[in-house]
Structure 1
Amino acid sequence: MGSKEKDIRHVDVLIVGGGPVGLVTAFQLAKFGHSRSIAIIEKYPKSSQDQYGRAITLYPRSSEMLDQLGLADELAQECFACRSTVSYDKDGKEVKGRGWYFMENMKDTQWNFALVLRQKYQEEIFRRRLRQEGVSLEAPVELVSVDVQETTPEDGYRITAIVKDGASGETSNVKCKYLIGADGGKSFVRRALAVPFDGNTTEDKWVRIDGVIETDMPKTRVYGAIESPTHGNVLWAALDHGGTRIGFAFTAERQKAYPEFNEAAAVAEAIESVKPFSLKFKQVDWYTVYSVGQRIARNFFTKDCVFLAGDACHTHSSGAAQGMNTGMHDAVNLAWKLSMVLKGIAPPSLLHTYETERLPNVHKLINYDKDISRLMTMQLPIGWKGDPNADPNEILGVVMEEASTFTTGLSIAFDLNTINVKGSFVSNCDPAPVSPGQRGPDVQLQKPGTNEATRLHKETPNIARFHIVVFSGEPEYTSSNLKDFSAAVETSKVFSNAALPISWLTIPAKGGPSAFEILGVMPLGKVFYDQKHTAHERYGVDIKEGAVVVLRPDGWIATATALRAGAVKELESYFGMCLEF
């Protein structure tokens, strides 16, 4: 190796962008054991003086994912937990069941609220936790050049990045195996790799302003809407630290009154937008005006070594508050897969499932957002076939309710593929059982001995390992099958491999003083009781038959088999497809 080569920095992964998506991706990789082989850079200085603004809301599924990474508790400590909503018509009269009303009905999760915490505070938490894992955000450091040598072997340093120190102006070379562009809507990584960014930007402009306010509006510490005839469906969002965000359409007609759009203009328009209520700003933290549009990258993964995540691969309005949530889904879907490939315990082909799983869900979001953003500006959706005189506020309520489980993230699912595989588990239970590719519900359980309450998500943290959950049912009916299954696991050469990234849990539909006596065999992994059968019911498992459910590291269901000896071969086959051992 020549002297110049020695001066080149080598990392497995270079992450570009120090916002929430980049930080959470880096945090996961560091947590999963790669702290010495990753770097994360950010073009702009990051400090406690950062502007507030930007994203504010995490929906239940995002909170669940962050909870399984050990990040959500700190966010919850500082957030405004929003469970209440309100909608007012143009006369200030409360209208039931419109706007953000779906937030009051977010079920099947411990995180049944909107976690409202401004991006500034979220980033501070993520940066601190990342440092605790041994990685610091490098800022201001800008990516100025990317070169991919596609002839370099798959496990080699295919990418050469030139980065520029914003303080000294000096440039240096970084060689990496993988590059992650989490560098926003104007992504340098996306442009450098010539990935098309399909879509358009509309003529519509929206304003967002945060601050501490006084008002005579009856309900203020809520997620609310004011149906303004001049400013569209106005957003009213209670924020952390006693703040409030107001967002509204800024029509071309109203823009004419302002040669320059400054803080005074933002305040004046905010006051107009909430009429007939009064409004006074005691303090303005942040404001912005921006054009609404929807764009999506043609590829989220290119040249087998470059990923795009967050706004770098999809931008849309803030109408349904999906920006940071969609980015969190990207980050969590990608990190465990990349970690396993870096460790050599999964084939590189696993990385292609990032795009095949995330891209369809982003397309679905973009389609919703097109309708929601038009309705919020008092325009009916493009291609609307209903009453041409319909009230956009009323239609908006219907659309947001229809999209509610997707918006909250709880119904986001993936098609069958190499890691979402239909197994031998068949259920006749009502409701229908959860299936491979769907979210694994967070169910209540009890710890042995103390009978302390716990939750499945707490006992299946995201540590880049699969979790095999044995729902062993009522032992009176299932003991024979459980013994056969356990014996087959004991003699399996695959499951005797300690390097396999797999953990076990056993959940009997019964409780008692001794797990061994309840089951009649030594349990597989930790035991948690389901005495009220609610966990079995939620997963569609008959307590007389049991089942084996495999959870992916990110909490989605991988596969499910019947509880019998033959299921072990089935599980071996599944892991043989998605892991290397």
Structure 2
Amino acid sequence: MAPLTFVEEKSSSSTLPLQDLNEEEEYQVVIVGCGPNGSVMANLLGMYGIKTLVVEASDTIYNLPRAAHLDDEAIRILQFIGLDELMKQNSLKLDVKFNRKSQSMTYLTIKNTETVYGHPRSIFWYQPELEQILVNGFQRFGEHMVKLLLGHRMVRMCYDQKTKTNRVEVVDNETGHVKNIRCNFVIGADGGNSTVRKSMSSNLHGESGSMRWLVIDATLDSDHPKINDYFQFVCDPKLPMVSCPLPGNHFRWEFAIADGQDEDEFIAGSDRLIELYGGDLSKLKNRVADRWFDGESRFIIGDAAHCLPQFLGMGVSSGMRDSINLAWKLKMALDNINEPYRINTAALLDSYALERKPEVELIGNKSNRIGNAVMSTNIIASTIRDLFSYILLLMPFIQTIFTNNEMKPIVPIKEGIIDHGHATDQYYDKKKSSPWKSFLGFLVIFYYALLQWSSSSSSSSSRKNTHKKNVGHRIVQPNIIMNNNNNNNNTMKLDSVMGLGFSCFVVNATDNTFSLLNTNSSIWKLLNTSFITIGQNNSSSSHWKQFPSIQIQRDQDKPFNAFIGNNMDGDSIIVIVRPDKHIFGIYKGDNEIATISNSLQNTFLIN
């Protein structure tokens, strides 16, 4: 049988020349690719009750390690799908050290403390275990809701303009049998060589680094000599490298390979490794696709949309953020098909790329700068870098800047689904990397951290419009106590009281506050809103007793109040949070609260 290749067609007719249309299976979403990002998306869609098919070309879940790191925001997404605790049990929580030599001459340590998002700063995991946890996660919804086809490839896709649906051909690699699928949306989670991306005429733009990197994964013997039990950057210009332990006696090294250097010498003499998975030699890529949505029904997520350098370890985490950003929007779009709402579906789905691209572009650029500064092979630049590092890091407040702001950029949503009338201008860096200036790269990193710190300090000191400065940011996640819980010592995380839809937090509630909110409005139903009161409820209305009422844990209430701009002057505050935990808007006082209904309708409905 001749090999099948992918063919993409469009038709204005509902009669398409696909095989055996009588055997057509119907799904709402087809996900192509069952890596970490495709599996997270399948979990999200399963939670939303969206009938989903996952198509994976491999016969089995991938059984070799690739990525190894998740950040706090990605762990929070795992919390959303109920898999965070299981994942943390099967991961390592490692400190990060910057060393001049391997396991020695440390000049900066970043402790793996809990962040404002309620989780460790990062966890390190063994990818085959992660993927199995994620697959088991979406299989809990049953095949009637989320079905996995292993050993199948998508070979053809047509969009029917009349029915506004896709018809997809999927072939069994072993038997050659073709399944015909009809679906509303197709999501490409099929990696850097994405078939779905190519069908959208979307191209990756960016650059590959000049430095070659060899990644080696191994399982260590039980009596292997002691090795670092933390993640380390080795900033030695003669041999830049990173290394870290992984669960199950696994270990990873990443070496910078100089021109003319033979990668085999790094593997030679490794008799103390009982199993060596081999080395993957490649140049680092920093590329972002120009189109993430074809304007009709196809999307790309994860590596299909962006290939990021590994220095910040944000590849999988960024893909998970893609998934949760898109999932709730697909839910609204699908609900709108059979509901009498006039949702502006085009603007809703277009916002996916508008919101996600700025973050991954900044992560890619900043990752390159960090790599050029920390992993420099220039001896003079490295010496100057180290000298400045030692001097600067003697000052405690400089250490605080680096350890609190860490190195991950924080990018609020500026364009997309937020209330632009109640948001202040936010800073984020779009500078391109400068690989030929490693020392300047270090100074840029320092400047960026200092700017974030000073901006945060100055904003906190100003009370005017301070409640607007975090619109577009992800809301922090403190521990809470339920007011109606007899056991006041039973704490939980804030997200535990937030549903699958939007959340509306009401602070310093009064009868007038609730009247202005008009919770019976259809817009709240459209957004599947959960209402939660925080602190003292000053309303006499029994209507509000049916909603959860919470208190922020005492040692975290001041930071939370500062985040939402509650300066304890008694004004009512409304915080509207999207399902992906980005803040849609923060409103203080009756005048601003009275504008909420119009803001939501103008954002989501067709005028």
CA distance change for structure 1 residues 343 and 560 in 2, over 3 Å: closer, same or farther?
same
Aligned to 1:294: 286
Judge conservation of contact 2:24–2:180 (CA < 8 Å) in 1: yes
Deviations 1:390-449 (A, max 9, x none): 55677899999769848557x231105443434399x99648445211110112321123
Q: Name the counterpart of 1:141.
A: 152
Structure 2 counterpart of 1:222, from 227, 230, 251: 230
Residues in 2 aligned to 1:418 and 1:118: alpha-carbon distance in whole angstroms: 35
In structure 2, how many angstroms separate the alpha carbons of the residues matched to 1:267 and 1:471?
60
Give 1:370's aligned residue. Answer: 368
Contact kept? 1:223, 1:236, Cα under 8 Å: yes
Q: Secondary structure at the match of 2:253?
A: strand
Residue 552, structure 1, aligned to residue 578, structure 2:
yes
Unaligned runs of 5+ in 2: 1-13, 393-397, 425-457
Matched, 1:190 2:236: no
- Counterpart of 2:511? 483
SS in 2 for 1:307: strand
Using the TM superposition, give the Cα deviation of residue 136 of structure 1 relative to its aligned residue in structure 2, in angstroms. 2.9
Give the corresponding residue for 2:116.
108
Out of 170, 177, 188, which is 1:181 matched to? Answer: 188
Asked whether the 8 Å contact 1:209–1:246 carries over to 2, the reply is: yes
Q: Is 1:467 matched up with 2:481?
A: no
Cα distance 1:253–1:166, how it changes in 2: closer, same or farther (>3 A)? same
Q: Which residue of the other structure, out of 482, 496, 501, is the alignment partner of 1:458?
A: 496
Please show how residues 343-354 of structure 1 align to structure 2 within 5 Å: 343-344=335-336, 346-348=343-345, 349-354=347-352
* Amino acid of the structure 2 residue aligned with 1:224: Q
Q: CA deviation at 1:375?
A: 4.0
State whether residues 416 and 422 of structure 1, in contact with CA within 8 Å, keep that contact through their aligned partners in structure 2.
no
In 2, Cα distance between equivalents of 1:388 and 1:160 = 56
Secondary structure in 2 matching 1:81: coil
Deviation, structure 1 residue 292: 1.8
TM-score normalised to the size of structure 1? 0.81
* Pick aligned residue for 1:42 from 56, 79, 97: 56
Match of 2:44 in 1: 28
The structural deviation recorded for 1:325 is 0.9
Per the TM alignment, residue 309 of structure 1 is displaced from its structure 2 partner at its CA by 0.6
Does 2:107 align with 1:66? no
In the alignment of these two chains, the number of paired residues is: 527
The percentage of counterpart residues that share the same residue type is 19
Superposed counterparts of 1:24-423, under 5 Å: 24-35=40-51, 38-47=52-61, 50-82=62-94, 84-90=95-101, 93-97=104-108, 101-104=109-112, 107-134=115-142, 135-149=146-160, 151-152=161-162, 156-157=164-165, 159-213=166-220, 220-232=228-240, 234-255=241-262, 258=264, 267-268=267-268, 280-285=272-277, 287-344=279-336, 346-348=343-345, 349-375=347-373, 377-379=375-377, 391=384, 405=405, 408=408, 411-423=410-422
- Tell me whether 1:435 sits opposite 2:470 in the alignment: yes
Letter in 2 for 1:436: V
Task: Answer yes or no: is 1:562 the counterpart of 2:588.
Answer: yes
**Counterpart amino acid of residue 347 in structure 1:** N
Partner residue in 2 for 1:528 = 550
1:542 matched to 2:567? The reply is yes
What runs of 5+ residues in structure 1 fail to find an aligned partner? 259-264, 272-278, 381-386, 473-478
- For residues 329 and 498 of structure 1, do their structure 2 counterparts lie closer, same or farther at Cα, with a shift above 3 Å needed? closer
Counterparts of 2:188 and 2:423, CA distance in 1? 39
Counterpart residue number, 2:528: 501
- What is the DSSP-based 3-state SS (H/G/I as helix, E as strand, rest coil) of the residue aligned with 1:553? coil
In 2, the alpha carbon distance for the partners of 1:170 and 1:242 equals: 42
Distance between the aligned counterparts of 1:456 and 1:334, measured in 2?
22
Q: Rate the CA distance shift 1:169–1:189 in 2: closer, same or farther, 3 A.
A: same
Alpha carbons of structure 1 residues 289 and 416: separation in structure 2 relative to 1, 3 Å: closer
1:394 & 1:7 partners in 2: Cα distance? Answer: 70
- 1:209 and 1:287 in contact (8 A); partners too: yes
Structure 1 residue matching 2:148: 3-state secondary structure: coil
Q: What are the superposed Cα offsets for residues 97-145 of structure 1, whole Å, 9 maximum, x if unpaired?
A: 1xxx345466323213321112211110111111111223211111222
Separation in 1, partners of 2:553, 2:184: 49
Task: Give distance in 2, aligned partners of 1:221 and 1:5.
Answer: 57
Bigger relative contact order (CA 8 A; separation at least 6): 1
C-alpha distance in 2 between matches for 1:529 and 1:329: 28
Q: 1:424 to 1:292 in 2, by over 3 A?
A: closer
Amino acid at match of 1:559: G
> How far is the alpha carbon of 1:378 from its aligned partner?
2.3
Partner of 1:437: helix, strand, or coil? coil
Match of 2:429 in 1: none
Could you tell me how far 1:248 is from its partner in structure 2?
Answer: 1.0
Equivalent-residue separation in structure 2 for 1:44 and 1:505 (angstroms): 45
Does the aligned pair in 2 maintain the 1:108–1:442 contact within 8 Å? yes
Equivalent residue for 1:15? 31
Q: 2: CA distance between counterparts of 1:249 and 1:19?
A: 27
CA contact (8 A) 2:507 2:573 kept: yes
How far the C-alpha of 1:160 sits from its partner, in A, is: 2.9
Q: Displacement, 1:323?
A: 0.9
CA distance change for structure 1 residues 330 and 428 in 2, over 3 Å: closer, same or farther? Answer: closer
- In 2, Cα distance between the equivalents of 1:491 and 1:305? 33
- Judged with a 3 Å threshold, the aligned counterparts in structure 2 of structure 1 residues 489 and 373 are, in CA distance, closer, same or farther, namely closer
